[in-house]
Amino acid sequence: MIALLRYHAAVLVRSHRWVFPVVIYAFLLLSVGASSAEPLRDGLDWSAAMLVPVVALLTRSMLTAEPGAARACVAAAAGPGRAQLATLLTALGGGVVLALAGAGYEVLSDKSVPLGAMPATLGAGLGTAVVCLLVGSGVGALCNPPLVRHPAVALVGTMAAVVFALVADVSPASAALRGNGAAQVSAAWPSGVPLLAAAGLVAFSWTASALAAARRGG
């Protein structure tokens, strides 16, 4: 699996398909940070929320970056299911890097937070980021190849699912962003439930994607 992860990471870097999601994430962070004096918790929530569309796009980029012939060779050597899981895990790893970079930017920005409150605020923000990261990965896996093969349908479906994930009360990402301490509060889910729901979404979407890849030979 480590060799597969290294291979897929190299494919993603060399294809330059990571550029668009990273630029979008950086633009959103910098534009909002430069135009407002929001407190740290709100900034962390914003950087977490933006992980949903960015990680979904990064997952889509990873799932479509590999040439068909190369994908067939990797699937034959390692198994299509394992190759698909390595692809999704590589995209998730890229999302983790973005999440840490976004949280670091928010902490280093000029936001007045008492030193004693920093660990709790940062921990809550990172917890929200994990939920949004998992939801973005689940959306990307469900709405793109091999589950959805038509390019236009996959892209439109990904964007629609991202909007739903950010605004719907039944979405774990929305619940985490509007829980206790959030700037815009809705009916909060019980503590820890959004994370469990997001993990369940990833488990379901990754399993479905891997099974579809195995059934179709990668």
DSSP 184: S
- Please say whether the beta carbons of 133 and 99 come within 8 A: yes
Instruction: Residue 55: give the domain boundaries.
Output: 2-215
Contact 209, 64 (CB under 8 A): no
Q: How far is CA 174 from CA 38, 91, 125, 189, in A?
A: 19, 22, 14, 10
- pLDDT tens readout for residues 49-58: 999 999 999 9
What CA–CA distance (Å, rounded) separates 96 from 105? Answer: 14
pTM value? 0.89
Reported as a single tens digit per residue, the pLDDT across 95-148 is: 999 999 999 988 888 656 666 667 888 888 899 999 999 999 999 999 999 999
Hey, CA dihedral for 86, 195, 184, 124, is it positive or negative? negative
**Domains identified in the chain, total number:** 1
CA count, 13 A, side-chain hemisphere, 29: 26
